[in-house]
Amino acid sequence: MDYKATAKAILPLIGGAENIISAAHCATRLRLVIADNSKVQKEKVEDVDGVKGVFEASGQLQIIIGTGAVNKVYDELVSIAGIEGGSKEDVKKAAASKAPWYKRAIKTLGDIFVPIIPAIVASGLLMGLLEGFSNLIPGLAENDIYTIFHLFSNAAFTFLPILIAVSAAKAFGGNMFLGAVIGMIMIHPDLLNAWNVATADTIPTAEAWFGLYDINLVGYQGHVIPVVIAVWFMSFLEKRLHKIVPEMIDLFVTPLVTVIVTGYLTLTIIGPVFSWLESGVLTAMQWLIALPFGIGGALCGGLYAPTVVAGIHHMYNALEAGLLSATNVNTWMPIATAANVAQGAAALAFAIKTKNRKNKSVAFPASLSAFLGITEPAIFGVNLRFVKPFIAGIIGGAAGGLVAGLLHVGASAYGITGVFGVLITTANLWQYLLVMAVAFAVAFLMTLVLYREKKPAAEGPGTPAGETAPIPVGALADSNAILSPLSGTVVALKDVPDATFAEGVLGDGIAIEPKEGKVVAPCKGTVSTLFDTHHAIGLTLENGAELLVHIGINTVELNGEGYSAFVEEGDQVSPGQTLITFDPDFLRSKGYQTVTPVIVTNSDEYSAITPKAQGEVQVMDPLLELGDRSE
């Protein structure tokens, strides 16, 4: 890969340097925050050599380049654009500042619950393994070693409010240790354990706000949202106090006031109100998932992937944590697995069916990633781009969710989906495997049925300009030949004064210095791309070649002046039909070179692209020869 050429090709397609707010990269992707997304030509960026996919997520434009190359393309992009690079955190902050309030709220939930996933996974895996072994070995639960490990398995869930409080304080910018204190207050041993309320003879109470009403002195085991709200208030109060309390007494006044005020409000207002609301939400979700005949599971399984596209799927972490804390069973995770596996199956079916090598190279690893629980590459890099695989994935997710709802499949943790989810579903392993199998089979078969490679239509319309170039007898008989779309002097592609074309970034081909200002269709095909400025046109020819005719160098800067187009995107064209006319002398008078590259942009599908003309060439003369088509 020519890293500089790739960066130069990408920059104008994302709106130029002035459209970049922030830029960084990870191991495989450029991560850009764009000022005006309408200026980004995503499909054209995808066609740049070296780009394996483009998608938007979390307010970022993410351009997949690949390990070992992305850092070099990034360095060239930053240098060419004349901007300062940033860290991934800088990009995340810039992206977050652009997001609507509800997306920022959902992202915050992700920032709180994602960091504690390792603790939940550790406890959940151990809980699942112990449950599996105890089913296989009668009497194991009486073993002392089992007793000790069982203690380990529920530790994270017993003290979950403290874990959430610490993570929330970090997310909200508060002191994590003060956050821990609030979490401890909410499950203090002096409060009646919430899990013992049903068997308690009496529930202790206390007067609140000078006798206005009584509160139950019950802990918040099994609750999630009240902890988040309490720590949000704590962080807000703490930061305000730091601003108004004199520095010399800030060290002891601010923590003291923060804990006293937040603690009292939490036990008397925040806790009672938001625990009631949370219980209502969890009850509603449990009701939805448990709808008769698996309808709820099907609805949730079908809607999961669209919420990933919308970037709001992080809210499910809070839902799963709440389900686990309240019931010890995560019924959402198998439904999420169904959706993820289905998108992976759709990408796999697409990879098998497509003849485009570049698309295959992206789809195969993307499908594997989805089977392991990471769906963004499959959704954004493949399925959403070609629409029908995405729809098939939604149908497969609904089918898998239906099975999960019918069989009441549950997990003992969250943070793991897909194949590795078997580790936290040992209590109903075969049901979980059936959920994945159904989701896979339905999505895979639906993709094979729905998806079709685009084929140019056989017939074209008349000639809009009333002109048809003369066609040599027998010239169209050779399906491997591409005829010349204009007259002039042949120029080797390597001699074109633009690195993007000269170095083959966009594909192999040839160039022509035009002697007259007319471009015609070299054979039957479809107009796949017509730039607004009319300086370039893309054709999908009947023989399968994708042809780009770029009239002049940097002529996009003329904004269409000097050009006239006689076709539109989607038009079917006939051999010799006039497509574009232009004024070569006008272009030269404005200081632009008129050499016109004629590029086969899907060159990688052929064994070779061989020039067949030298010197002078007339319209519809043989120009290029296509090698054997790669399968």
Q: Which residue reads 């089918």 in tokens?
A: 399
Higher pLDDT: 282 or 600? It is: 600
Higher pLDDT: 138 or 212? It is: 212
Higher pLDDT: 115 or 231? It is: 231
- For residue 617, give the H/E element and its range: strand 616-617
Prediction pTM value: 0.50
Instruction: Give the count of beta carbons closer than 10 Å to the beta carbon of residue 224.
Output: 27
On whether the CB atoms of residues 77 and 30 are closer than 8 A, the answer is: yes
Give yes or no for residue 254 having a pLDDT over 60: yes
Instruction: Give the count of beta carbons closer than 10 Å to the beta carbon of residue 460.
Output: 21
**What's the pLDDT band for 413 if we cut at 50, 70, 90?**
confident
Query: Average pLDDT, whole number, for the chain?
Result: 83
Which of 90-94, 179-183, 354-358 is predicted with the least confidence, judged by mean pLDDT? 90-94
Give yes or no for residue 482 having a pLDDT over 80: yes
Instruction: Give the count of beta carbons closer than 10 Å to the beta carbon of residue 620.
Output: 24
The pLDDT score that the predictor gives to residue 392 is 95
Give yes or no for residue 459 having a pLDDT over 60: no
The pLDDT score that the predictor gives to residue 136 is 75
Q: Which two three-digit tokens encode residue 621?
A: 């003369």
Q: How far apart are CA 405 and CA 130, in angstroms?
A: 25
**What's the pLDDT band for 458 if we cut at 50, 70, 90?**
very low
Among residues 577, 471, 472, the alpha carbon closest in space to that of 518 is found at: 577
Span between the terminal Cα atoms of the chain, in Å: 23
The pLDDT score that the predictor gives to residue 394 is 95
**What's the pLDDT band for 165 if we cut at 50, 70, 90?**
very high
Give yes or no for residue 352 having a pLDDT over 80: yes
The pLDDT score that the predictor gives to residue 13 is 92
Secondary structure of 223-272 in HEC code, one letter for each residue: CCHHHHHHHHHHHHHHHHHHHHCCHHHHHHHHHHHHHHHHHHHHHHHHHH
Q: How far apart are CA 428 and CA 553, in angstroms?
A: 64
Average confidence (pLDDT) over 477-493: 84
**Each residue's pLDDT tens digit, 275-286:** 888 778 777 877
Q: Which of 9-23, 127-141, 313-327 has the highest mean pLDDT?
A: 9-23
The pLDDT score that the predictor gives to residue 38 is 85
On whether the CB atoms of residues 565 and 529 are closer than 8 A, the answer is: no
Counting residues of the chain whose pLDDT is more than 90, the rounded percentage is: 30
Among residues 353, 462, 342, the alpha carbon closest in space to that of 394 is found at: 342
**What's the pLDDT band for 467 if we cut at 50, 70, 90?**
very low
Q: How far apart are CA 86 and CA 63, in angstroms?
A: 16
Q: How far apart are CA 605 and CA 545, in angstroms?
A: 9
**What's the pLDDT band for 117 if we cut at 50, 70, 90?**
confident
- Choosing from 25, 26, 188, 535, the catalytic residue is 26
Give yes or no for residue 460 having a pLDDT over 60: no
Give yes or no for residue 514 having a pLDDT over 90: yes
| E strands present in 113-228 | 205-208, 213-216
The pLDDT score that the predictor gives to residue 174 is 93
Q: How far apart are CA 341 and CA 361, in angstroms?
A: 19
Which of 46-50, 167-171, 346-350, 423-427 is predicted with the least confidence, judged by mean pLDDT? 423-427
**Each residue's pLDDT tens digit, 70-114:** 888 999 998 888 887 665 556 556 656 666 666 677 677 777 877
The pLDDT score that the predictor gives to residue 564 is 87
Q: Where are the alpha helices (DSSP H) in 423-481?
A: 429-450
Burial environment of residue 325 by CB neighbours within 10 A (0 to 12, 13 to 18, 19 or more):
buried
- Choosing from 223, 313, 535, 550, the catalytic residue is 550
The pLDDT score that the predictor gives to residue 140 is 83
Give yes or no for residue 60 having a pLDDT over 70: yes
CA dist 308 to 315, 343, 349, 574, Å?
10, 11, 21, 43
The pLDDT score that the predictor gives to residue 454 is 63
Instruction: Give the count of beta carbons closer than 10 Å to the beta carbon of residue 244.
Output: 8
The pLDDT score that the predictor gives to residue 27 is 59
Q: Does 523 qualify as catalytic in the annotation?
A: no
**Each residue's pLDDT tens digit, 190-203:** 999 887 877 788 88
**What's the pLDDT band for 456 if we cut at 50, 70, 90?**
very low
DSSP-assigned beta bridge partners for residue 33: 22
Higher pLDDT: 223 or 400? It is: 400
Average confidence (pLDDT) over 531-536: 84
Cross-sheet strand order for the sheet of 596-600: 572-573, 525-530, 536-541, 546-550, 596-600, 508-514, 488-491, 616-617
**Each residue's pLDDT tens digit, 537-576:** 989 888 888 899 999 988 877 888 888 888 888 888 888 8
Give yes or no for residue 125 having a pLDDT over 80: no
Q: Which residue reads 């089992």 in tokens?
A: 146
Q: Does 26 qualify as catalytic in the annotation?
A: yes
Average confidence (pLDDT) over 149-159: 85
Give yes or no for residue 54 having a pLDDT over 80: yes
Average confidence (pLDDT) over 27-50: 84
Concatenate the DSSP letters of all residues of 395-416 into one string. HHHHHHHHHHHHHT--BS-SS-
φ/ψ of 509, rounded to 5, equals 170, -145
